[in-house]
Chains A and B, each alone.
Chain A
């Protein structure tokens, strides 16, 4: 019918034209795709970014979450739902507790009234409380609790040798500040309940001590109130979200710290507050992926936007691994044993190996499960060897749970000193204590 209206030649012309158009579109599309994949298309994103965004949307697992896993509970979920606090709205600011303005004075008075619990153990060594924790519920991953147990044993060992007290938290003090933010209300509660503590040392449960002989340089920190691993340029210049790490940091027990916690906390409450804050952080900080606000990014943001107020009391330590990213350390342990010895704390013998992204308690981490677990075993044994050598033993290899004797028993045990001098080190000596 069309043929009769327009004529055959015309039909054929139209057909040819449509075929050509089809071809042109196809080729154009292909070209665009290839170009996008290779040189990127700026703010329109690359396929890699698309994928990451899709991944984040459908399998949301923000980096470095403190495990908050559930176990199928016999109780009905309804009771849990009743206890869930209503999500905070954006115009209802969050507060960690009643404002305290004279904490330094309160604290000094307390310490004076209680000389049996001084805040300094020697002239230079402060009383330190190491704080870590995990969920009160069993890990979703059946091996997770075993690695948490090994991790706490590792911390107990370091702290015993260095005369540091430990607080292992398993309580969610504020349901609004769940996840990685849970440490803030906990830290505040501990600072206020323990005026005798001079420094609070927060340490993630997935971080392990790998240098048992390294004592922190306390004199270096005398003028500062917050010590974190990081780099000044990466934070203040680049505004990089991983310019510092809040997995292992020191916070002095003073008014400044209470004020800092008050300013740090507002991005934390679950719900729209945290989500909106996350967007601000992704926009402001370099390389930050899209996800809800986390405490580390919030700290970078705080320091960058309020540098004049806080930066003079913040020390970004990079001379040793107060936090050591495991990816670049774990394969080098044998090399370290060959060439160096404990006590350096830095790239030669890291103080802390931090298994960021491994999440042994949960089901999904950012790295393959096998590599994480195997390396955590190796890091644990690497640290444990330094403890076992005190008693004349060592692991058969970094991957083995079994131990072998390296020093024979004698009938004069006190004449034998352990190689690293960790049995009776100077930093454990009791000098001020009343007997």
Chain B
């Protein structure tokens, strides 16, 4: 067979090259199609089983970020939803703008007839009747009068998250003291009167508790920024048999100087009796938020030494009341300063180590203060009267100083007053009750 001309052979060879190239292209095209389809199906299946997001493997850092953003958003929502300022119920008394306001405080209170509730005149009698009908709820328990400690904090989140932390720790401190001394506690978070807001909020609640709990002999108010630093100190109720209000203060500051800090209403005891209801009724009228409180504030600043200009507060109002109506009230008021029923923190907190070295619990006075009160620190808000860090450090020190007195029952103590860590100070034994018998709450603290 003769070969064809080179051209045909060439053609054959050329076509052989052309056709394979076409087929190559088609083959690769087919392969690509197949790859895409398979890849697509794989992704679908994986997504169905373990979820697409997890294919990216979210790192802990971005998780962190997301959670913090969530929390911030929720915090914002909570703050926005918190109660608006209560309306001024007495706005009707405004005549023109405040500078041309011609009302003074005395006229204002006459106009508004503020009360915390219907007048009760026979409370002592009602209470005695109830007590005799309810012997299961005596006002005297184990030889001591029944005491109810009342404290409180706002229902909203603190602006400063550390504020809530110290509210919690200080609550623990109060629980510890009260457990040791048989005192009941109520922590109030409800604003029961929209006019008596802020520091005035304790008044209507004290009144309400007295009337609901006739078995309680003493209501003991304590601010949330005050803690017990002497766990062994017992209140000397025998001294107070003929008194109805026990409050820390200085008689000379009160009667001679008319100082606005002559007494401290951060911690006081009030007997459950008619006299106290009358006092509360006489005390409350400066409290209603708005024009009343503003006018009363002006009156107080004029009359009390050293008082800055701001709205009426319960402490200044009580001082003014007791000064201006001395004869009516003072015979039943015990101005206590033989121990620190209220102990201003600034003069005490640096001395804790010295106290532990030289003295022992149970004294209640400047050697071992009963209560350390962090006036002016305002850890819940963002602004106080003192540097934040100084306040927080000392609040921690005071807490641990008190906590050492509790931990010693179990054989422990804090490593240092600023340190939450604890260490064992007494070995465990197989005879723990022998140790307990010898344990004295008023003994020196050895750390």
Contacts and interface: CB of A to CB of B under 8 A. Distances in A.
Interface stretch (B87-95, B207-215, B315-323, B334-342): B207-215
B176 to A, nearest CB: 8
A157 B46 CA distance: 52
A137 B420 contact: yes
Interface stretch (A165-173, A305-313, A319-327): A165-173
Contacts of A48: 49-50
B190 A37 contact: no
B11 interface: no
A331 interface: no
Contacts of B168: 134, 145, 148-149, 152
Interface in A365-394: 368-370, 373, 384, 388, 390-393
Contacts of B303: none
A116 B141 CA distance: 11
A328 interface: no
Nearest to B58: A59
Contacts of A429: 136-137
Interface residues of A, number: 90
A93 interface: no
B67 A363 contact: yes
B433 A363 contact: no
Interface string A141-176: 111011011101100110010000111101111000
B191 A98 contact: no
A99 B129 CA distance: 55
A416 to B, nearest CB: 9
B171 A149 contact: yes
13 contacts: A59-B60, A100-B432, A139-B161, A143-B157, A156-B185, A166-B175, A193-B432, A369-B71, A369-B74, A384-B190, A402-B83, A403-B191, A435-B138
Interface of B: 31, 34, 38, 41-42, 45-46, 48-51, 54, 60, 63-64, 67-68, 70-71, 74-75, 78, 82-83, 116-120, 126-127, 129-130, 134, 136-138, 140-143, 153, 155-158, 161-162, 164-165, 167-169, 171-172, 175-176, 179, 184-187, 189-192, 208-209, 211-215, 403, 407, 409-412, 420-422, 428-433, 436
Given A97-B428, A152-B171, 6 more contacts: A153-B189, A173-B410, A189-B410, A402-B191, A403-B191, A424-B215
Interface of A: 19, 23, 26, 29-30, 33-34, 36-37, 46-48, 50-51, 54, 58-59, 83, 97-100, 106-107, 109-110, 116, 134, 136-139, 141-143, 145-146, 148-150, 152-153, 156-157, 160, 165-168, 170-173, 189-190, 192-193, 195, 363-364, 368-370, 373, 384, 388, 390-393, 401-403, 405, 409-414, 418, 423-424, 428-431, 433-435
- Top-10 shortest CB links A-B: A409-B117, A136-B420, A429-B136, A37-B49, A142-B161, A145-B164, A47-B49, A413-B211, A401-B155, A192-B432
